[in-house]
Homo-oligomer: A and B are copies of this chain.
Amino acid sequence: MAASSEEINFVWKMWFPIIINMFMSITAYVVTVKLIPKLKEMFIKANLFGIDMSKRTSEKVPEAMGVVSGCMFLITMFLFIPVPFATFLLEGHFAHNEFVELISALLSICCMLLLGFADDVLDLRWRHKLLCPTIASLPLLMVYFINFNSTTIIIPKPLREMLGFSVNMGILYYVYMGMLAVFCTNAINILAGVNGLEVGQSLIIAISIAIFNVIELSSGQWKAHQFSLYFMLPYIATSFALFKHNWYPAEVFVGDTFCYLSGMTFAVVGILGHFSKTTLLFFIPQVFNFLYSIPQLFHLVPCPRHRLPKFNSKTDKLQISTTSFKYSQMNIGGRMFVNLFRTLHLIQWHEKNDYVLTNNFTLINLVLLIFGPLHEAKLATVLIIIQILCTCLAFMIRYPLAYLFYDI
């Protein structure tokens, strides 16, 4: 049976822009991977460098290189802008809504790249790290307000007797979206410090989102997922170029710039593609790391300035970093968390007189606690495998289990 011309038209409309995007992404990869080494000197001259604490040498490693992959990502997207809309122009009607979404998503990402780079250069304070993503998500929220202003959420089945089928969240939905951007950017930023880890985890998340998008292309919501793919493919391409230079032994560091850019990109496609809950599902290791870090982040227990694993230059391996304090320095909240973590065997804990010696509460240290000291490349590999396994779990939750909670 021959496919009808309508079917062909539909397949064309769905895949043509994606295929163009794919070719542009490949080009962007090739350019970025060659560009990064050329710019290394320029960054070091500009005082944008760090010393790798987990190496025997103490060479200057250029920092904030995420701005290069980020700019290449943006340029690719700029050049791509007319592609999805050219077909509509030929047909005579034009999808203004989608166009505005594309531009405003780029505005939010560009703004985040600017603020991330400013953070790397100026070394902003913690409160700015929360403020920046909020500012950068403003255009997105404004566009959401004007374009959709749909703040109704579907209630999961078990709660429907209590809350009804759906609830209009009103302004709370905007708070949720703003917080999503803040969470995504910072969650990646605090699971960091090992060569290749920031980019590695972001790549897995991006690939997971892209796979999810491809699956959903056959659904009624295919437009939203096509839209998301437009961003994910060039993001994956340019980040992969960065990954090649950031993997052990890192020639370049990615900086807060990259974490901000990545978090914002994921938040943007999640919000505008209406799959923010699924996006969060791909953040399981980051969510765990955040929850695990809470006692130290919010100073419920004393927190040292750096929580990176400790480098043992004799064995060339990384081992857990520890912190020591008086038991009495913990407040009630800290004690509750510590008791919970000890019950779950999530931390190492030695008490002597009033003094406590424990590991820093990060996922990286937990991995080292379980596997023992690891070589840096192996540690990053283990963490990325965990990210991949969590993506599998996320797909399990999203597909078979979701049927229990929603009518899909």
Contacts and interface: CB of A to CB of B under 8 A. Distances in A.
B42 A122 contact: yes
A139 B46 contact: no
Given A111-B110, A114-B114, A43 B122 contact: yes
Contact of A106 (B43, B118, B123, B139): B139
Interface residues of A, number: 44
A146 B94 contact: yes
Nearest to A64: B121
A103 B97 CA distance: 12
Contacts of A110: 107, 110-111, 114
B139 A78 contact: yes
B46 A122 contact: yes
Contact of A121 (B74, B81, B100, B121): B121
Contact of A85 (B39, B43, B146): B146
A141 to B, nearest CB: 9
A48 interface: yes
Nearest to A114: B114
Contacts of A82: 142, 145-146
A305 interface: no
A205 interface: no
A337 B79 CA distance: 40
Nearest to A107: B107
Contact of A138 (B42, B75, B100, B113): B75
Taken together, the copies of this chain in the complex come to 2
A176 interface: no
A399 to B, nearest CB: 35
Interface string A125-142: 000000000010011001
A104 B94 CA distance: 17
A28 interface: no
A115 B70 CA distance: 12
A34 interface: no
Contacts of A85: 146
A146 B99 contact: yes
A27 interface: no
A257 B78 CA distance: 21
A125 to B, nearest CB: 9
Interface in A239-290: none
What are the 10 closest A-B residue pairs judged by CB atoms, nearest first?
A: A96-B96, A81-B142, A78-B138, A114-B114, A47-B47, A107-B107, A103-B103, A110-B110, A46-B122, A103-B104
